[in-house]
């Protein structure tokens, strides 16, 4: 993703550009958007860190309590549960959407009859909001809904349960629709990446007698390194951000069994009105996102060196 910025420039151009650079209009072009983002993103982010060190109910001014919120988090069973669920979410939702999306991209990369339709079918849910997705799947999970009807049809009645209301199944019943929607999205990213690979590389490998598995392992996957970094960042951030689908289906329940850090943070902030404590959870989410992405980038750089 490192980009060399300078366009092809001969000396006269450069001189002209340099003389233009101080024009107040250009400064405004950069400063106005930057100021807007600062007001709604950078400044709030800094405040978020500060709030995490306070006790605050939203009415009286925040009171500085140091690391108290973080100490309390360490002993909070609901938080630990949400953390574990978030990791499960990251692994299952993230892992399976990458595998599924990559697999579908491989299967559907070649232009042939019907491929356009199949791609469109897998892609359709990406257009829906997660709330719409949740409602679609709610029909599936209803008592006497589609899932139960299907199970009964194949004689597996004993498996029937209140999918979203059973603490054993709630989290997984929420992951499924999330996956249903994400796989098509990841597939599009990988399709774009696969299209960018020079076909000559595959041709050369085939000449050298590489079978399709070897070509996948030694040509396709290494060539996708750039896209992998993007997909990984998207998946990590999406997993940690995941909120809509859980909120619409279970609100983190029953008994916090499908609670993610993001839903716990939201309900702590806006329902329990413990804004300082909720900010500490938000900081944890931030640190997790940063750690995974940085961890990956460091590894990627080391491999390149």
Of residues 119-148, those binding another protein (CB under 8 A): 121-132, 135-137, 139-140, 142, 144-148
Give the CA angle between residues 62, 67, 70 to the nearest 5°: 100
Comparing CA positions, the residue from 265, 255, 268, 259 lying closest to residue 165 is: 255
Q: Does 298 bind another protein (CB under 8 A)?
A: no
- For the segment 64-93, give every residue that binds another protein (CB under 8 A): none
- For the segment 220-249, give every residue that binds another protein (CB under 8 A): 226-227, 230-231, 233, 237, 240-241, 243-244, 247-248
Q: Smallest distance, Å, CB 48 to another protein? A: 4
Q: Smallest distance, Å, CB 108 to another protein? A: 8
Q: Does 154 bind another protein (CB under 8 A)?
A: no
Among 84, 156, 192, 221, binds another protein (CB under 8 A): 192
Q: Smallest distance, Å, CB 169 to another protein? A: 18
Residue closer to another protein (CB basis): 42 or 64: 42
Among 84, 270, 291, 294, binds another protein (CB under 8 A): 270
Residue 71: what are its φ and ψ, rounded to 5°?
-60, -45
Residue closer to another protein (CB basis): 94 or 125: 125
Q: Are 225 and 301 in contact (CB under 8 A)?
A: no
Q: Are 256 and 171 in contact (CB under 8 A)?
A: no
- For the segment 90-109, give every residue that binds another protein (CB under 8 A): 107-108
Alpha helices in the chain, H assignment, sequence order: 11-20, 24-37, 43-51, 68-74, 77-89, 95-108, 115-127, 130-141, 146-153, 170-195, 199-207, 212-215, 221-223, 225-241, 244-249, 261-270, 275-304
Q: Smallest distance, Å, CB 54 to another protein? A: 11
Q: Does 259 bind another protein (CB under 8 A)?
A: no
Contacts of residue 28, defined as CB under 8 A and 6 or more positions apart, other chains included, come to none
Residue closer to another protein (CB basis): 13 or 168: 13
Number of residues that bind another protein (CB under 8 A): 102
Residue closer to another protein (CB basis): 71 or 273: 273
* Residue 262 CB neighbours (<10 A): 23
């Amino acid at each position: 993703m490192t980009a060399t910025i300078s366009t092809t420039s001969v000396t006269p151009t450069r001189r002209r550009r340099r003389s233009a650079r101080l024009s107040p209009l250009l400064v405004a072009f950069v400063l106005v958007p930057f100021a807007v983002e600062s007001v709604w993103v950078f400044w709030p982010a800094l405040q978020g860190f500060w709030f995490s060190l306070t006790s605050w109910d939203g009415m009286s001014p925040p009171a500085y309590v140091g690391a108290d919120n973080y100490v309390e988090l360490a002993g909070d069973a609901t938080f630990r549960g949400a953390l574990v669920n978030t990791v499960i979410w990251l692994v299952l939702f993230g892992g399976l959407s990458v595998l599924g999306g990559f697999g579908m991209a491989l299967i559907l990369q070649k232009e042939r009859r019907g491929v356009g339709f199949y791609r469109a079918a897998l892609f359709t849910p990406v257009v829906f909001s997660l709330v719409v997705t949740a409602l679609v799947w709610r029909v599936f999970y209803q008592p006497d809904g589609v899932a139960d009807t299907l199970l009964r049809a194949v004689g597996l009645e004993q498996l029937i349960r209140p999918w979203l209301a059973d603490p054993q199944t709630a989290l997984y019943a929420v992951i499924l629709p999330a996956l249903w929607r994400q796989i098509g999205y990841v597939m599009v990213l990988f399709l774009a990446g696969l299209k960018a690979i020079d076909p000559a590389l595959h041709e050369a490998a085939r000449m050298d007698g590489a079978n399709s598995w070897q070509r996948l392992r030694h040509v396709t996957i290494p060539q996708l390194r750039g896209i992998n970094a993007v997909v990984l960042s998207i998946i990590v951030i999406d997993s940690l951000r995941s909120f809509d689908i859980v909120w619409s289906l279970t609100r983190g329940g029953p008994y916090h069994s499908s609670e993610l850090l993001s839903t716990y943070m939201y309900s702590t902030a806006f329902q329990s009105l413990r804004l300082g404590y909720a900010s500490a959870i938000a900081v944890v989410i931030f640190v997790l996102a940063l750690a995974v992405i940085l961890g990956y980038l460091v590894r990627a750089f080391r491999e390149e060196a």
